[in-house]
Chain A
Amino acid sequence: MIATFATATDLPDIAAPDIEYALLAPIFIIAGAAVLGVIVEAFWPRSSRFLVQTGIAVVGIIAAFIDTVWVFQDLDPVKDASHLARGKIAAEGALAIDGPGVFAWGILLIFGLLSMLLFAERRLEGGLSGFTGRAADAPGSAAEVEAIKHRVEHTEVFPLALFALVGMMLFATSNDLLTMFVALEVLSLPLYLLCGLARRRRLMSQEAALKYFLLGAFSSVFFLYGIALTYGYSGSFRLSDIDVAVTNRSDSENMLLAATALIAVGLLFKIGAVPFHTWTPDVYQGAPTPVTAFMAAGTKAAAFLALLRVFFVAFGGSSWDWRPTIVAVAIITMFLGAVVSISQTDVKRMLAYSSIAHAGFLLVGFTGAYIGSSDSSRVTSTSSILFYLTVYGVSSIGAFAVVTLVRDSGGETTHLSKWAGLGKKSPLLAGSFALFMLSFAGIPLTGGFIGKWTVFSAAWSGGFWWLVVIGVLVSALAAYFYVRVIVLMFFTDPVGEGPTVAAPSIMTTGVIAVAVIVTLGLGIIPGPVLDLAQHAGAFVR
């Protein structure tokens, strides 16, 4: 008894961790919004729930964004850093609230906002959202019919999306591998579910969910094992500690390399790099288009931030070991994405392959591994990728928004042949889609061009001029199929009565408009955003 007391009293008192709430506020806001959404889900009357959920999500994201801007502004530069870096390690070292991370928060929130607006579009399905009424019902069953009759809707999509957003934000800023793993799951699990919730073509949607889930889990296990090996090697999850262990490494080289490889697997899977891309086309095609947009923009951004952080901070010391391999991956990814998309007949699949190709271009910037120097303000790998992600994310959300509007009796018509003559039917819509295509192709006066330019310059700065040459050749190849779509829309006569273009509500229209403006604006005056990305500086260790 006494002993127990004694032991009890002897216990060292656990110091309460101090959390920089001010810095982390954006995450908390989104998480709070998500939780609030769950509560609303429980208590709010069904009739007006959809609107309330939309409101919560939108308001939450906007608030978080404003706060993010604030946080970004008063990140104080790090002393005695070899090169410019802002921010600090927070939450007991779990998170690094630094320039790139917060910038990533910003764009993630923007992507989230735009996607939420697409989620909330209800005019296309006759007053219902694009998500299935009751996921539990088997497709085509009586229950489903009846659910549609009573206009049941899954309003959980909003909290789910918000949770995924939280995961992404954590992923982008997590400073130790364990947090990173948790964040990875937090962002993945809701997406698995969201993928299965399409209102039309539910079989495909569920299949997409299943594939995404199984393969995602599979990859995250490798990621986890990589973490385990790293931990075994360095005895810590902290990126900075790992860095120390890596820089003055002595023995058991191979274990470190295996760890590096496995961690890379998890991250490359998320960004959809070859040979871990196989899920991308199927999931992009099967998932509800708004979800696809969200994934395409958000997941890629978050995953790339994590990739940069792990490899520049933790494994920066062994960059000469992993760079050649990543270069190979980059080349294969660019090439396969570009080539295979040539023979695609489905718009969403084609966009999926194009996203693979873009992952390749982003990897080119990444392998440059040019982290800048304090004296010159040259474009660094980090800033170039941040800019590229911004442009690519907005453009692809816009593109998918356009996809939601081209419909026939069976819902969206994603088969390319149905898109013939769209330019005659509605020039504005086709024009904006063409603009996104040109931006993907990297034609000047669009943001995509500046993006390509930045990643290539980063690669060259890193000494990979020949990789740049390969890159430009592949982008010429990639341009071919974007151009094909334009030919289809403008120069080809419609088959039959041609596609019908649904009249969207202000929300989808707004999304497309914003996407167009951003794509053009970043093409003509990219200066401000580029300066922000430069201002973000390097990662904090």
Chain B
Amino acid sequence: MFDLQWLLIAIPLASGLGLLVWGKEGDRFGHLIGTVASALSFLFGVVLFASLLGKDGEDRSQSTKLFTWIDAGSFHVDMGFTFDQLSGLFVLLITGVGTLIHVYSIGYMAHDERRRRFFAFLNIFIAAMLTLVLASDYLVLFLGWEGVGLASYLLIGFWQHKDSAAAAAKKAFVVNRVGDLGMALGIMLMFTEFGTSSIHAVNGAITGASGSVATALGLLLLLGACGKSAQVPLQSWLLDAMEGPTPVSALIHAATMVTAGVYLVVRSNGIFDASEAARTAVIVVGLVTLLAGAWIGCAKDDIKKALAGSTMSQIGYMMLAAGLGPAGYAFAIFHLITHGFFKANMFLGAGSVMHGMNDDVEMRHYGGLRTFMPITFATFGLGYLAIIGVPPFAGFWSKDKIIEAAFGQNVWVGLGALLGAGVTAFYMTRLMIMTFFSEKRWREEVHPHESPRVMTWPLIGLAALSAVGGILLVSDWISEWLEPITGHAEHEELAIPAIVLTLIITVVVLIGVAAAVFFYNREPIAAETPADSSVSIFARAGRHELYGNELNDAVVVRPTRHLTRFLVWFDGKGVDGFVTGVADRLGDTSQFLRKPQTGYVRSYALTMFGGVAVLVLALLAVTLA
């Protein structure tokens, strides 16, 4: 049965391509087909996962070779897939959340005349994402890796008539390419070092290689991960990516694609275990992103961008966890899943709000919506509780474990993670207040209303998951489940008992909440965004995304532009100019050499006479020499 796991990919892929070429006739039920395809893939995934549960530990990694993809010279890659504990979880997450979002989109995109294409793109994304997680060779993984990049490019720029959307799409793709550069080089290094790029083989043989190779591989893969997961320094594309339709933000830029980087690190645990330096780099990246994202989340008034900042920050948590090695892999995945639930939930909620507010994303134009869209409020609230880590909701369990593990690694890392938790609580509370509480600050033409069922049911589903996601941790199920892949880590004791730490975390979270309430519930919130000058330096930096774009401009974009201009000039004047210059000189020479042809026979005679003299002398000279 596992030999058919390629069907997981084939179904949505076929549906996606089919919808693309189908043409106008497909518009009527294109969205249904797309949703059904995703659902089928989900069901099959459940079946596979179930049968995986049925097997005992050894047989839980099922590989199949579909066909030989590339066999050239000494380079050999099979189109092969592996369905194991890790990829199984991802299959469920991707197809599950994916299906819900398909359903949601039916309503959300109801009035878009290009809805069929939207669903086609979504299906293609699902297929590519599944390829990414099921791949048993790094090159196949890279195929999915860039496939999701393409899907995200198409979906961010789905509303191409908006220049901002097109620009954001391009930016996302190009920045991701920088990460892919690392991936590609990494795979080449594997080929050079091991003669293969099979994930299993490489991670198995890495111990035999020199430490520098492991470090190099780790850093190169990390570069790729940073691109995909919007980690510093390649974070800048994620907030612009919010130009895409909200379901896209939910599925791709919150729940699944952006977490691919974490998957990559965990999947390559062999490499990272072999290199302390690489792990440290991962931790640093995670920690920095964690705080930066949180900071940005505090300052944004655009609801989607605020959530995007939070996404960055949460993925920072996962990276941090993944960087901790065997102690953290499982928790990284755990947090990844729970975050998938509640963040998708909140994005869809935000979409539902925008749906009711004429696609206005400015939180300063919201306020007091809890009475007008109760379901959205309720579900969003659950997500809120989950993300800030209020027991017993999903986020609490996962985040708590990560912070604990972080302290186990290094007290400073732990403190950073702890601080992050507080800030998270702060900005999420701020978001809740500005949106659902406080007084109404609507534009006059808007009439807030609850979204249709087709949109609210997915919300409810996801809210439920965010509420109960924590059960995965019951008796450390997730750790044991993943242990064959991530390796066993004996749980080292902290200076203080875990329960105390948990209490501290909760206190910090409450402080964050209190602070937000204190700041935003005192006086009414201005309906207009205050000028940069009037806000604190922190808020200003946050609004400008910590000046990441400015930095990129100064360091990369502008130099490249100047270089290009120079080269265009150089090519015309220098390289080509040389050639044409030679041609011109020849023309001048020609004009010059025709002068002696005066038409006077005596001058010709003189030339000849001179020739005679030269010839005689030359012959004499040659012999004398």
Q: Which residues of A contact B (CB under 8 A)?
A: 210-211, 214-215, 218-219, 222, 253-254, 257-258, 260-262, 264-265, 269, 274-276, 278-279, 281-282, 321-322, 324-325, 328-329, 336, 339-344, 477, 480
Contact A261 B590, CB 8 Å, known A253-B623, A275-B607:
no
Shortest Cβ gap from A133 to chain B (Å): 27
A429 and B473 alpha carbons, distance in the complex (Å): 91
Q: Are A342 and B604 in contact (CB under 8 A)?
A: no
Q: Are A342 and B608 in contact (CB under 8 A)?
A: no
Cross-chain pairs A/B with CB under 8 angstroms, 15 sampled: A211-B604, A215-B601, A219-B608, A253-B623, A257-B623, A262-B612, A275-B608, A278-B596, A321-B622, A325-B618, A325-B619, A329-B615, A341-B590, A342-B586, A343-B591
The 5 closest A-B pairs by CB, nearest first: A275-B611, A278-B604, A343-B590, A261-B616, A342-B590
Which residues of B in the span 385-408 have a Cβ within 8 Å of any Cβ on A? none
* Residues on A with beta carbons closer than 8 Å to the beta carbon of B590: 339-343
Q: Are B619 and A218 in contact (CB under 8 A)?
A: no
Shortest Cβ gap from A358 to chain B (Å): 17
Shortest Cβ gap from B595 to chain A (Å): 10
Q: Are A281 and B608 in contact (CB under 8 A)?
A: no
A324 and B597 alpha carbons, distance in the complex (Å): 27
Shortest Cβ gap from A229 to chain B (Å): 11
Q: Are B619 and A257 in contact (CB under 8 A)?
A: yes
Selected contact of B594 from candidates A219, A276, A343, CB within 8 Å: A343
**Cβ-based interface call for B614 (8 A):** yes
Q: Are B619 and A265 in contact (CB under 8 A)?
A: no
* Residues on B with beta carbons closer than 8 Å to the beta carbon of A260: 619
A126 and B478 alpha carbons, distance in the complex (Å): 108
**Cβ-based interface call for B620 (8 A):** yes
The B interface, classified by DSSP as helix, strand, loop or mixed, is helix
Excluding A265-B608, A275-B611, A325-B615, 13 further A-B contacts by CB distance (< 8 Å) are: A219-B608, A222-B612, A254-B620, A258-B620, A261-B616, A265-B611, A269-B608, A274-B611, A276-B608, A322-B622, A324-B622, A328-B618, A343-B594
Selected contact of A275 from candidates B594, B614, B619, B620, CB within 8 Å: B614
Q: Are B623 and A215 in contact (CB under 8 A)?
A: no
Shortest Cβ gap from B622 to chain A (Å): 5
Selected contact of A340 from candidates B594, B610, B614, CB within 8 Å: B594
A480 and B582 alpha carbons, distance in the complex (Å): 13
Q: Are A211 and B616 in contact (CB under 8 A)?
A: no
* Residues on A with beta carbons closer than 8 Å to the beta carbon of B618: 261, 324-325, 328
Selected contact of B619 from candidates A214, A278, A321, A341, CB within 8 Å: A321
* Residues on A with beta carbons closer than 8 Å to the beta carbon of B605: 214-215, 218
Shortest Cβ gap from A119 to chain B (Å): 27
**Cβ-based interface call for B496 (8 A):** no
A215 and B597 alpha carbons, distance in the complex (Å): 14
The A interface, classified by DSSP as helix, strand, loop or mixed, is helix
* Residues on B with beta carbons closer than 8 Å to the beta carbon of A342: 586-587, 590
A279 and B604 alpha carbons, distance in the complex (Å): 7
Q: Are A261 and B593 in contact (CB under 8 A)?
A: no
Between B596, B607, B608, B614, the greatest number of chain A beta carbons within 10 A of the residue's beta carbon is seen for: B608
Which residues of B in the span 572-625 have a Cβ within 8 Å of any Cβ on A? 586-587, 589-591, 593-594, 596-597, 599, 601, 603-605, 607-608, 610-612, 614-616, 618-620, 622-623
Shortest Cβ gap from B597 to chain A (Å): 6
Q: Are A265 and B615 in contact (CB under 8 A)?
A: yes
* Residues on B with beta carbons closer than 8 Å to the beta carbon of A279: 604
A282 and B596 alpha carbons, distance in the complex (Å): 13
* Residues on A with beta carbons closer than 8 Å to the beta carbon of B591: 343
A222 and B589 alpha carbons, distance in the complex (Å): 31
Shortest Cβ gap from A221 to chain B (Å): 11
Contact A325 B587, CB 8 Å, known A215-B605, A275-B608, A343-B594:
no
Contact A321 B593, CB 8 Å, known A279-B604, A343-B587:
no
CB-CB nearest in chain B for A260: B619
Contact A336 B593, CB 8 Å, known A210-B601, A214-B601, A275-B607:
yes
Shortest Cβ gap from A439 to chain B (Å): 22
* Residues on B with beta carbons closer than 8 Å to the beta carbon of A276: 608, 611
* Residues on A with beta carbons closer than 8 Å to the beta carbon of B619: 257-258, 260-261, 321-322, 325
Between A211, A340, A341, A477, the greatest number of chain B beta carbons within 10 A of the residue's beta carbon is seen for: A340
CB-CB nearest in chain A for B625: A324
A275 and B614 alpha carbons, distance in the complex (Å): 10
* Residues on A with beta carbons closer than 8 Å to the beta carbon of B587: 342-343
CB-CB nearest in chain A for B610: A275
Shortest Cβ gap from A337 to chain B (Å): 10
CB-CB nearest in chain A for B604: A278
* Residues on A with beta carbons closer than 8 Å to the beta carbon of B608: 215, 218-219, 265, 269, 275-276, 278
CB-CB nearest in chain B for A218: B605
A75 and B490 alpha carbons, distance in the complex (Å): 106
Q: Are A262 and B616 in contact (CB under 8 A)?
A: yes
